[in-house]
Amino acid sequence: MRKFLALLMILCLTTIGPGNFVMAQDGGQPSETVQVDEADYGHQGLKKRFIEGGWLFMSAVLICLILGLAFCIERIITLNVATTNTDKLLQKIDASLKEGDLEGAKEICKKTQGPTASILHEGLKRSKDGIDAVEKSIVSYGAVQMGLLEKGLVWIALFIAIAPMLGFMGTVLGMIDAFDRIAAANDISPSVVAGGIKIALLTTVFGLIVAIILQIFYNYIVSKVDSVVNRMEDASISLVDILVDNGYGKNSNN
């Protein structure tokens, strides 16, 4: 998580450049210095551009960003809580089973947070029925836990898709308005259409920005889910080995 936040900070810093740019002539010699207000790229600049883009579509894009970030933050917190030190947990379970304390091993799993501990607890509950029952229990309950881990991802993906679509729709409607102005003025001069086209393009820009931000968080969450699932699978296999080593390897029909 810290590496991820650090990467985001670096990306933000690299996108904010100096406010002065030198424009070169065709011959390669500097001709003039154009002053660019840094506020145009900061908070006030974004606020100004947001207002210029029109409240209808820009508000819809903003809602996508807020709801998408809410789902992302909820998933990140949940997945961080779900991360368990499986090696330490399995060592405690193994120690309890070596002492013949099956209930103690179950209690260790109950006191440990995360889906991995819950799956191991379900496996221990069926340990007296044999390894086949343990494996079936782990597979069944593992599918339930995977569904819980992926909860909300479909909504994040929806907002990633909707945000640029809303931006494109605003752009199309803005271009239609620009052509209406041309028809009304019977003039195709830049002063007639420049403002309308700029406003139309702003909706697309903000829609793409929202989609990019949510896509970064979405990929991070997916990778985190994959990591938790891999830990669950490894812990489940290790639990079966531990049960067999401690005399729980016989099936109930033997």
HSE of 190, CA atoms in CB hemisphere, 13 A: 1
SS3 214: helix
Q: What is the dihedral of CA 46, 47, 49, 55, to 10 degrees?
A: 130
Q: Which two tokens stand for residue 126?
A: 């069926």
The pLDDT assigned to 12 comes to: 43
Which residues 6+ apart lie within 8 Å of 35 measured at CB?
A: 19, 20
The pLDDT assigned to 52 comes to: 57
The pLDDT assigned to 67 comes to: 93
Which residues 6+ apart lie within 8 Å of 73 measured at CB?
A: none
**Whose CA is closest to 46, among 217, 213, 218, 247?**
213
The pLDDT assigned to 85 comes to: 82
Using alpha carbons, list the distances in angstroms from residue 208 to 35, 91, 204: 27, 48, 6
Report d(CA 80, CA 83) in Å as an integer.
Answer: 5
The pLDDT assigned to 205 comes to: 85
Q: Is 159 within 8 Å of 68 (Cβ atoms)?
A: yes
Using alpha carbons, list the distances in angstroms from residue 177 to 25, 146, 161, 196, 249: 36, 48, 25, 7, 75
- The phi, psi pair for 18, rounded to 5°, reads -65, 160
Report d(CA 64, CA 165) in Å as an integer.
Answer: 11
Q: How many residues does the chain have?
A: 254
The CA R_g of the chain, rounded to the nearest whole Å, is: 29
The pLDDT assigned to 245 comes to: 82
Task: Walk along the chain (254 residues) in steps of 10 and give the mean pLDDT of each run.
Answer: 44 39 38 43 55 68 91 90 82 86 86 86 84 86 86 92 86 75 71 66 85 94 90 87 76 47
Report d(CA 99, CA 59) in Å as an integer.
Answer: 62
Place of tokens 């909300």: 152
**Whose CA is closest to 247, among 93, 136, 127?**
127
Which residues 6+ apart lie within 8 Å of 63 measured at CB?
A: none
| pTM of the predicted protein model | 0.70
The pLDDT assigned to 117 comes to: 87
Sign of CA dihedral 34, 47, 194, 212: positive
Q: Which amino acid does the sequence have at 99?
A: E
Report d(CA 50, CA 53) in Å as an integer.
Answer: 5
